[in-house]
Amino acid sequence: MAAVLATTLVGCTPNPPLSAEPSEGAELVRVPEDAPTINDAIDRVAAGGMVLIGAGTYPEEVTIDKADVTLRGVDRNETVIDGGGIRSFGVFASADGVRIENLTVHSTLFYGVLVTGMHDENGPLAHGGPGYTELDPSEFPPVQRFSIDHVTAYNNGLYGIYAFNARHGSISDSYASGSADSGFYVGQCEDCDILVTGNVAERNAIGFENANASDSLTIAGNRFSGNRIGMTLISNYQEAFTPQRGNTVVGNLIAGNANGDSPAHALGGFGIGLAITGGQGNRITGNRIESNPVAGILLGNAEDIPALENEISGNVLSTNGVDAADVSATRAPASGNCFAGNTAATSTPPGLFAITCPTGAATGGGGILPSAAVPKGMSFLKVPVPPGQPGMIDVEALPSRLPATVDMPAASEFPVPDGLLLADRAAQG
């Protein structure tokens, strides 16, 4: 899969020769050799060029507002953007076609890495501010084309890696831990055309979260284990484009989400593998969901938005508190959800796995969840530092322009994983 992505999304060409002193608009600018800071380098680089960051610690908030710029570290573990527990973000990209690669971002108050079209002259507006609840596409057009690859984001106050009001992009081979909201977040887009693959999320309140990101979003071959909640698909009236719908979740390991070495979830969530809260028309297939002490898969409503017509098929569920649960309220009962070919044993209410595809049926809610002791959360800044992560090999190669759309893999490329999926990158293998 990594090879396919590299061919599809990178398309590297040989690195051009450098002048001794790159001028403004240079094709390649090195930090610190050609520019003392990352932001200075972005000022100097041409649209379509690359900023290559040397090993070191950079106490900056980096803003990328030029199209088709690549921001890349020479060493993923040694090129570090440090929020110091006082800066709002590490890297913020508002331009089309941006790549962010092979570096580490940690200890920011809000976002490690953020790609969004929602911003003003003072910076991003993705958390609060005008346009958050009522999106005006003419004022805040979504970012088109982005790639976040081989990035480590840890101990960030809300989100590790965050794509919001952005389309046609990928988040791949990255790692997130210590996020008080979620390690990875994709939100507020229609016809998203986003691929999330090969990532590890652990020791977060939520490993992966999707709010109102719909249509052609694929979450495939990731490890969402050792968080408080593995992943969520939610509809949210605080963002545009309600309801959430039409994702494919395939070939992921969603296991052991009961980790006390993590920030507390804002609503007390704990011990859940996959929660679908008001999500609709999603396909959940070929995942291994195990050892989540409350529930493997949880169906519920988001205010008056029900969980509708989700297909849950071919998954392996085991050693969960209960393998599947419907806890929907009577005012927004789940319906049309179906189950086919799963390896599973228990559900609440009983008989969920007898609701076969393709037609589905009303499941009625009323599920009673097993209880689990919820450990006290810790400050996001105190979550243990993650292990070193594998980096990119050819960091000098200047990449080509990102394509207009993402070449999505077929679900058949992702069989049910074993419990060791990406374990070599995890602190708790």
From residue 159, how far is each of 60, 386, 410 by CA, in Å? 17, 16, 28
Where is pLDDT greater, at 423 or 135?
423
**What's the whole-model pTM score?**
0.92
Q: Say whether pLDDT at 130 is over 80.
A: no
Residue 120 pLDDT class (50, 70, 90 cuts): confident
How confident is the model at residue 19, as a pLDDT? 37
Q: Say whether pLDDT at 17 is over 50.
A: no
Residue 23 burial class via C-beta count within 10 angstroms: exposed 0-12, middle 13-18, buried 19 and up: exposed
How confident is the model at residue 127, as a pLDDT? 54
Span 198-228, pLDDT tens digits: 999 999 999 999 999 999 999 999 999 999 9
Span 227-239, pLDDT tens digits: 999 999 999 988 8
Domains in the chain: ranges and CATH = 55-382 (2.160.20)
Closest CA to 178 of 68, 246, 260, 88: 260
Residue 24 pLDDT class (50, 70, 90 cuts): low
- C-alpha–C-alpha distance, residues 115 and 91, integer Å: 8
Span 51-102, pLDDT tens digits: 999 999 999 999 999 999 999 999 999 999 999 999 999 999 999 999 999 9
Q: Say whether pLDDT at 18 is over 50.
A: no
Instruction: For the chain, give the mean pLDDT.
Output: 91
Closest CA to 155 of 208, 86, 210, 252: 86
How confident is the model at residue 129, as a pLDDT? 47
Span 135-168, pLDDT tens digits: 565 678 899 999 999 999 999 999 999 999 999 9
